[in-house]
Structures are given as C-alpha cells and as structure tokens.
Amino acid sequence: MSNEKVLVEIKDLKKYFPVNRGLFGKAHSNVQAVDGISFTINKGETLGLVGESGCGKTTCGRTIIKLYEPTSGQIIYDGHDLSKLSPKQMLPYRKKIQMIFQDPYASLNSRMTVGDIVGESIDIHGVYKGRDRMTRIQELLTTVGLNSDHASRYPHEFSGGQRQRIGIARSLAVQPEFIICDEPISALDVSIQAQIINMLEELQENMGLTYLFIAHDLSMVKHISNRIGVMYLGKMVELGKSDEVYGHPMHPYTKALLSAIPIPDPEEAALRKRIMLKGEIPSPIDPPPGCRFKGRCQYAKPICSEVDPELKNLGSDHFVACHLY
C-alpha cells in the first residue's frame, strides 16, 4: 500500500445540518450526518462504502464533491485541500471529480435531450466545441452501450438501465480521474445491475479511474471493491481490504450486516446463525456520548457509554472502532 499513490485523503470530515426544535423552534440542534470520518483512496482502486439507510454514506459522497459544504475537516485531492475553496476555485477540480447519482429517473433533466445532458459539462469546461463536441457525445454514448443516434432523444424515452448509462456517460464527458458512485444500481433490476457493474469495471480498467462506490448490497460491494468502509450513524466503524472485512469482520455491526447476506444454498443457510440486532437506532440529532452502536450491541461495556472508540489499526491495514479491541 505504501508504494501506491494516494489520490483522495479525507481527514476528520464532519457535516452537520442545523435543525430547530422545541415548541417555537428556538432550541437549536444539529443532525450529525457525518461525524469525523477519515480514510484514503489510492489511485486506480475502488473503495466501497456500506451501511444501513441514514448512516451518512450519501452525505459523505456529496460533501467530498462539495455539493454540501463541509462543517469541518479536510478533503485533500492529489495534494490539494478542497475544503476551503470557493465555487470558482473548485471549477478545475469539478472536471477531475464527477458523480453518478442514485436515481436515474430524478438525476436527468426531462426537458433536455440526451445530447445536451451529456454535453452540459463539456460546455461548462469548454473542452470540445462545434463538430468535435457532437463527436465526443456520440463516442460517450457508444462507450456506455447506447446508440449514437440516441443523442436527439429525451430521458423519458429510455428504461431505467439506459438512463443510468446516460448518467454514466455524463460523468465521463470531461475525462475525470475520480468518480463517486452513489448507489448507481439500487434502482435497477438484478440483470441490469450486473451489466452496469461490469461496465464500470471495464471503464476503470480502460481509463484508470478511481471509484468511491456507495451501496447497500454487500455482496456487490465485495465484488467491485478493493477496500471496504462500514459506516454507522455518521461514524466509520470498520475499514479494511475487501477479503479481510468479509473473511474476518471485527466490529459487531459488521458481523450483523454480513450475517444478513442471503446464501443460495438452503442447507448451508439453515446451518448459519443470523445475528439479530435489538434496540432502536439512536437519533443522529445531538447523539449521546460514547459509541453510537452501544444500544444495539450485545457486547456493550460501561466504557462504551462514556468514550467514543477510535479507529485503530489491528494489523494488515484493518481498522476497527470498538472497545473490544
């Protein structure tokens, strides 16, 4: 890992959303969507980010690309800190960092043709003009498995899988280095999911892309990712190589997540013990001190209610935030 170039480094990133509470909305609190997470992504690799709904995965991805302004922390891209840059200063980096959104139905403007959707970023950055622009758009559509004559059609004329391909073509338009994939397959059929994943892997191989892959489907994340980060209520609870996290999960929450993956073999599935989590998920609005998982953890100790566990390296770059280790 030491020989590989770090492309993205996140240091103690926080994103809080202010909320008003109380009878007249005078009590001010914060939704701690992302609360002090740190990780690195090496050039050419895929980091998978998993966790249940509401744990802050999407907020983390959107804060890295600065669709949300970070509350605090550093977003270091190729040696440059992006966290304090103005929108104008961010423009050159927007060309290098792109995003594929979760919902292919909502992320495309229904009033624009496919050619205009894919060409919008080309126009903003002034990469291609005139005939070269149209040639580039047709090339991109062909790259993602669509016909070049689809450029004159509108999003409502396409299926969900085709729309997601348009979204991928849009993200590739300005030749980025780093793409944040925010659950790009969750709204698609299983057969289409496999096609999109295979295409993303092929594009990564051909173009040397780096991915942050946000998803719910743990088996899919294992397939595409080199390393995996597990989030719970705004915190990173486990981070390590894909095989290491799946083969030897350390955090009780990771173990529970992995036990929920269905096994196709009925005999093997019958022998496996499912870890059932009890208790309620605490609110991300001003959570109490200590470990966020303590209310649902069967191994909770008194220290878990007092001290927030730090992410520790337990060897071979396997990091865990738990008082059991």
Spans of the chain, pLDDT less than 50: 1-2
pLDDT for 219 equals 83
Q: DSSP per residue over 242-282, as a string? A: HHHHHHS--SHHHHHHHHTS--S-HHHHHHSPP----SPPP
Tens-place pLDDT, residues 113-122 = 999 999 999 9
- What single letter denotes the amino acid at residue 72? S
pLDDT for 2 equals 43
Tens-place pLDDT, residues 120-162 = 999 998 888 889 999 999 999 999 989 988 999 999 999 888 9
Q: DSSP per residue over 18-75, as a string? A: EEEESTTS-EEEEEEEEEEEEEEEETT-EEEEE--TTSSHHHHHHHHTTSS--SEEEE
Number of Cβ atoms within 10 Å of the Cβ of 139: 13
d(C-alpha 178, C-alpha 41), whole Å = 10
pLDDT for 118 equals 93
In angstroms, what is the C-alpha Rg of the chain? 21
Task: Decide: 97 and 180 in contact? Cβ < 8 Å.
Answer: yes
Give 85's contacts (C-beta < 8 A, 6+ positions apart).
66, 93
> 3.40.50.10490, 1.10.8.100, 3.40.50.300, 3.20.20.70: which CATH number matches 6-113+173-320?
3.40.50.300
pLDDT for 1 equals 41
87-96 vs 114-125: helix axis angle to the nearest 10? 120
**Domain definitions of the chain by residue range:** 6-113+173-320
